[in-house]
Amino acid sequence: MDRIAIVEKAKDYIAKERDPLFRKEVEDLLADSSPAGEKELLDRFYRNLEFGTGGLRGVIGGGYNRMNTLVVKSATQGLATYLIKTFPHKARAGALSAVLAYDSRHYSAEFAEAAALIFAANGIKAYLFSGLRPTPELSFAIRRLGCDTGVVVTASHNPPKYNGYKAYWNDGSQVIPPHDGGIIDEVNRVTAIKEMGREEALDKGFLVIIDKEIDGPYQDMVKAALFRPGLIKERAAEVKIVYTPLHGTGALHVEKILGDLGLQVITVPEQREGNGDFPTVEFPNPEEAPALKMAIALGKREKADVVMATDPDADRFGIAVPARGKPKGEEYTLVTGNQMGSLLADYIFLSLKELGRLPANAAMVNSIVTTGMQARIAASYGAACLECLTGFKWIADLMRRCDTGEISKKIVFGTEESYGYLVENDVRDKDGVSATALTAEMTLYWRSQGKSLLDRLEELYGISGYWEELGISKYFQGPEGPAIMAGIMEEYRRNPPLTLGGIAVEKVRDIKAGRWLYPQAGGGAREGEALELPESDVLQFYLEDGTVVSARPSGTEPKIKFYASCRAPVGAGGLQAARAEAARKLEAIGRDIRAVIGA
């Protein structure tokens, strides 16, 4: 796109944007003729910020390729139009409704209210939370209020300069086909935005402020999902929990729920309040070890039994626990998302079985890049492990299909490797709040059996083999980034490697093409059987030793992600030998991947 076209787009944006700060940013860039200014102007207007299948996510700022009030309003107008066309009878009766929540990021409250007022202007009643609320509570609210859609303004665990906008459907899950495509089409067609002022929307009943009428039932639901409230009541004093919400939304519910259960919760004071700058962490992500540094330091001082963290919108959850063989408070071990999902799966199946409530058709769901260990745990209880694409909306879709009888299974747990867990049925997205409560109970249960969480994890390795995972990511910023990532994926498709880490690649699952591929010695691949999964830009390499390596461009960030899941049997050499064998394989696989992407 040449400079004349960029300038025209910038002037068009200035004419439409009502927020003075965002408008001035672009005005200043138009007046800046420096190379840096020209580059920044290009980046803000060379494309429109794409409304993808999960909504919007981008850097906050003025411009069509940024997160700002105009972009949020336009997206909401498209969503409102799609709702009206999809439910014409409800629209004519004035019965459509939406609920909106937001986290602690910069402009989250402003973006949420702007979206609510667009719904109101389109005759759609908008329920708006009065303050910060977690993403899982938004999902719960959609179902409890019977809304047709929902929006949460969050960029999850991204750095402070980002914000985002996630759209939900009437079952409380993020939108999937065909609705995602229909919404995207309407968003792309928006030329005029209907608007209404706050006072008018309140007076006409199209804007309703909510808080306690959802907070209380949500907290009650989390507590009702526990298995052994009697055990917690009896032994709560035995467990000390250190918790951090990482400057996000989690403290409101985590402190109240765990406190109601009688558990001692010590929240990291410097990270308790919402703060979009996330001043004490580089990335507010419990997947990243540095994000738990302050919480672990407090855990050591307090000799905590478990250190817990939720990300800013409290859908992700991570923990650290006292290291085995060390005095409590001396050293802590981080538990990975795959390990946590395995522990929770085991505890849920075990508890349902012990309490006589395990359905004959019980199943859990995990994503295709999650550890294979969980399928073996489910099988040990006579249950199934269903797989789906990456993203909790696909777990929610399988839950919906089971609810309607399309699939004859009863879902009791959903998880994905990126620290997402769903332990109840009243939310259709990952829920870090409920995960804190169940993890506290699980900690107490295994203590009552004379074991720690790490003791139980080692027992599970003895049953299913030792599993270890590797993740590699690389960012490709700027206009050329998407093309570079697409080129990497296409080259893998045209010429899949014969080996990874020195281990033969037996077959490749190409989920974008919907086919199995079989690498050929002379280059290229033979096409095989069709797949049943929905289309997605994912490649999975199945190695002859059972290791699975997956590659996919992120749907929310300009980066390509690789996952490797490796199993080593626990034989005569014991767990130590199995760990060494898995580490050796993953190191070699990682070298091959980095050689391709330059990481």
Active-site residue, selected from the candidate residues 74, 156, 351, 464? 156
| Reduced 3-state DSSP string for 58-74 | EEECCCCCCECHHHHHH
Query: Within 13 Å and on the Cβ side, how many CA atoms surround 244?
Result: 30
Would you state the pLDDT for residue 297? Answer: 97
Q: pLDDT tens digits for 131-150?
A: 999 999 999 999 999 999 99
Would you state the pLDDT for residue 54? Answer: 81
Would you state the pLDDT for residue 479? Answer: 78
Would you state the pLDDT for residue 408? Answer: 96
Would you state the pLDDT for residue 100? Answer: 98
pLDDT of residue 181 exceeding 90, the answer is yes
Q: pLDDT tens digits for 434-466?
A: 999 999 999 999 999 999 999 999 999 999 999
Would you state the pLDDT for residue 184? Answer: 94
32/453 Cα distance (integer angstroms) = 58
pLDDT of residue 481 exceeding 90, the answer is no
Residue 91, by phi and psi: left (phi above 0), alpha (psi -120 to 50) or beta?
alpha
Confidence of residue 572 (pLDDT cuts 50, 70, 90): confident
Residues 6+ apart with CB under 8 A from 149: 79, 83, 98, 142, 167, 168, 169, 170
Residue 170, both tokens: 């009437």
pLDDT of residue 557 exceeding 80, the answer is no
pLDDT of residue 598 exceeding 90, the answer is no
Would you state the pLDDT for residue 186? Answer: 96
Identify the burial level of 587 via C-beta atoms within 10 angstroms of its C-beta, where 0-12 means exposed, 13-18 middle and 19 or more buried. exposed
To the query of whether residue 554 is one of the catalytic residues in this protein, the response is no
The whole-model pTM stands at 0.93
Would you state the pLDDT for residue 131? Answer: 97
Query: Which domains, from first to last, does the chain contain?
Result: 47-210 (3.40.120.10), 220-449 (3.40.120.10), 466-597 (3.30.530)
Q: What is the CA radius of gyration of the chain?
A: 24
Would you state the pLDDT for residue 556? Answer: 66
Q: Which of 142, 135, 146 is nearest to 434 (CA)?
A: 135
Q: What is the mean pLDDT of the chain?
A: 95
pLDDT of residue 160 exceeding 70, the answer is yes
Residue with tokens 């979009």: 276
> What's the mean pLDDT in 116-128?
98
Q: pLDDT tens digits for 217-237?
A: 999 999 999 999 999 999 999
